Structure formats: C-alpha cells, structure tokens
Amino acid sequence: MSEWWTYTLSDFLMFSPRTYWRLVELYNRDFWPLHLPLLAAGLAALWLTATRRTHAFRWVAFGLSAIWLWVGWAFLWERYATINWAAQYVALAFAVQAVLLTGAGLMRKHTAASAGPAARGLGGMLAAAGLVYPLLGLAAGRRWAQAETFGMAPEPTALLTLGLLLLSGRPASRTGRALLFPIPLLCLLLGAATAWTFLN
C-alpha cells in the first residue's frame, strides 16, 4: 500500500470532469429559465445593498437564505450527491447558512456602520465575480448549457453572498457577522480544490 503522502487530490475524485459537467448541463436544462429571475434577484440584491436602502440588509438576507436552501437541495442534495457522497454534507452546510442568514436578517440592527472603502471595494469585486461567473466557463471552453450561475450553483452563490456581506457594513454584533463567512469561504475552497483536480 502506498504511503498516504504520495496521494494527490485527484486520487480522491470519485468522478470524471465529463461526468460533472454533464450533470451540470442536465441540471440547467431541467430548471431553465429559472436562471434569469435568479440573476435578476442577484442584481437587485447588489443594488439594494450598494444604495443602503432602509431595511435592505433584512430583505437581502431573507432572499439569500432562500437561495442557499434551494442550491443546497436542488443541486447538492438531489444531483451532486449522486456522484459525490460528500456533497450531502455540503448540502447540510448550505442549510445551516440559510438559517444563519435568516437569523441575521431578523436580528440586524439598523444602526450598522457603513463598510469602509477597502471592504466596499472587495465586496463589489466579489459580488460582480458571482454575477459574471458563467463567463469563466465560457473562457475555459465549456458551453452555455454547462454554465454555473448565481442561485443555481454553489460557487457563484457563495461569491455574491460574500460580496453582499462585505458591502452591507458592520453590524452591532461582530460575532454574528463572523458566523456568516465560514461556510461561503469553505464552499469556495472546495470548489477550487475540485477545479484543481480537473486540471491535473
């Protein structure tokens, strides 16, 4: 038996890139054109957060909560888990994130300070990256049918969520704010690890 340190990430991959992208293509086909209203919702959330409308964070948090539940169930639990057993645990993490976002929307005080210039700049870039994420697939040579979009796939959903959280400012409870970041960050790390194995 080989020593454990000789293994690479690709040794733990239980499916081929072709299998994964075919799964994404069938998923997109089954739910088209739901992608369009979800994209519109993402743009609306970005506008509400950037303009700091009254109660904007509350409504954005509630909307994001529903989207995290949807992605966790429709993509991770119902589809991705059929080729990757670990996806069921990621789906549960998505449900936890939905609960955290709902709690943040209910508890957020409206005396939150504005985000600083650095946070707003980074937040804007992350949010924009979440919305244009499908273009990365096109640049990599994949078809539109295999596009991963906000509200339908984990990584663009996590990117836009992180961007909106940074843009929304500093709530009174720093602990509560900190709880909203780990799961989206973990989602991006897992996505990056999977993409890396596809390339190697």
| DSSP letter string, 86-145 | THHHHHHHHHHHHHHHHHHHHH--TTPBPPPHHHHHHHHHHHHHHHSTHHHHHHTT--GG
Q: Is a pLDDT exceeding 80 seen at residue 115?
A: no
Hey, how many other C-beta atoms are within 10 angstroms of the C-beta on 49?
Answer: 25
pLDDT value at residue 43? 95
The SS3 assignment for 29 reads: helix
How much is the average pLDDT of 139-164? 93
Cα separation, 47 vs 37, whole angstroms? 15
CA distances from 113 to 74, 165, 168, 174 (A): 36, 13, 9, 12
**pLDDT(1) > 50:** no
Q: What is the pLDDT of residue 176?
A: 64
SS3 57: helix
Q: What is the model's pLDDT at position 71?
A: 97
Residue 105 clears pLDDT 90, i.e. is over it: no
> Is pLDDT of 174 > 80?
no
- Report helix, strand or coil for 170: strand
Report the alpha-carbon distance of residue 23 to residue 75 in Å, rounded: 9
Mean pLDDT over each residue of the chain, to the nearest integer: 85
Q: What is the pLDDT of residue 9?
A: 45
Q: 106 or 78: which carries more pLDDT confidence?
A: 78
pTM: 0.87
pLDDT in tens, 3-49: 544 444 444 466 788 899 999 999 999 999 999 999 999 999 999 88
- Bigger pLDDT: 13 or 64? 64
Between residues 156 and 110, the one the model is more confident about? 156
* Bridge partners, residue 113, by sequence: 170
